[in-house]
Amino acid sequence: MTQALSIQSITAHYGTTKVLEDLSLEVAEGELVSLLGASGCGKTTTLRLVAGFLEPTSGKIELGGKDLTRLPAHQRNIGLVFQNYALFPHLSVADNVGFGLKQRGISGDAKTKRVNAMLERVGLAPFGDRLPGALSGGQKQRVALARALVIEPPLLMFDEPLSNLDAKLRVDMRVEIRQLQRANGTTSVYVTHDQEEAFSISDRVAIMHAGRIMQLDTPETLYQRPANAFVARFVGFENLIPMTVVARGGAGVTAEAAGGVRLTLSQDQFGAIPDAFTLACRADGLAVTTSADGIPATLGLRTYLGRAYQYQCDTPAGHLTANGPLTRPLEIGAAAKLVPVPEQCTILAPE
């Protein structure tokens, strides 16, 4: 009984500060969408609005076609998993999991059965009688997950659920969460500031900044074809080089950057190139060479990355970060050419 979530041009304020501006988001049935961004970007606010802990200034929230906007939190029937687990410290694990069922008037055997089945699924069957205080962080998060799942909500929401766990557990838990979510086919919204976590777990990711969604796409598209400079930087394109086309010939386009630096780019590799654009390159996307044509650079600090050397470079087009092969380390002050590697670069249209 999973349902689609529809957030329609929501604006929200804390006091007089606007925290969300005209935000819209559609999450399809059974889909897991992450809200990704730094703290203060509005991702948690969005979640709290959907959960009913905040009221939007304007806009509408629908779940399965039903308007939730003015419904009190306790009538929304949304499963929530909190960052700090938010387990009731005075109730046993089983009573924590059974809390939502109790509110729905389910008691006795029916309740016990569902609680036990759910504890079984999250691997905590022997812990039913314990108090949450006696559990490890990972176990607490499993209880929180079980508590949210057992009420069979049409929508699950996660608020940075793994940020209090250590690195190894974090990876294990996110696989587990994804498996449980897939198995139930529950529509889910997942809030996190961890890019790897969001990309690994989600069907689609919304990258948020200053109360707006900068781009909503599949992880693959976000990673390879960011739509704007903010998202490009966010997913690791260190070098953004503004360029203007000076000549077009067949598939090849010659463009010029600051300082008179000229590059020839192939539209077969980059797609249609507009007259003014920004060339976005990861450090791996600018190869440090001594022979070929490219951006002339003076090499600065060299750091060792394991798979390559990274150089801080001074160029006529500005400061750039580029990687060079391990076979031939170059010294500070050496002159080199930086050549764009098309697979690690992309073209950003003017905003």
* Binding-site ranges for another protein (CB under 8 A): 51-55, 72-80, 82, 84, 86-90, 99-100, 102-104, 131, 133-134, 147-148, 151
Choice between 55 and 172, CB closer to another protein: 55
Shortest approach of another protein to residue 75 CB, angstroms?
Answer: 8
Residue 165 CB, nearest distance to another protein (Å)? 17
Phi then psi dihedrals of residue 138, to 5 deg: -65, -40
Which H or E run contains 161? none
| Nearest approach, Cβ of residue 255 and another protein (Å) | 52
In terms of CB distance, is 31 or 95 closer to another protein? 95
The smaller minimum CB distance to another protein, of residues 51 and 280, is found at: 51
Task: Please state whether 103 falls in left (phi above 0), alpha (psi between -120 and 50) or beta.
Answer: alpha
Q: Which two tokens stand for residue 97?
A: 């999991």
Decide whether 79 or 219 has the Cβ nearer to another protein: 79
Give whichever of 17 and 291 is closer to another protein, judged by the CB atom: 17
Residue 56 main-chain phi, psi, to 5 deg: -75, 150
Name the minimum Å distance from CB 19 to another protein.
15
What SS3 class is residue 74?
A: helix
CB 90 → another protein: shortest distance, Å?
Answer: 4
- Distance between CA 222 and CA 97 in Å, rounded? 37
In whole angstroms, give the CA distance from residue 143 to residue 97.
7
**Other C-beta atoms within 10 Å of 26: how many?**
14
Q: How far apart are CA 3 and CA 65, in angstroms?
A: 8
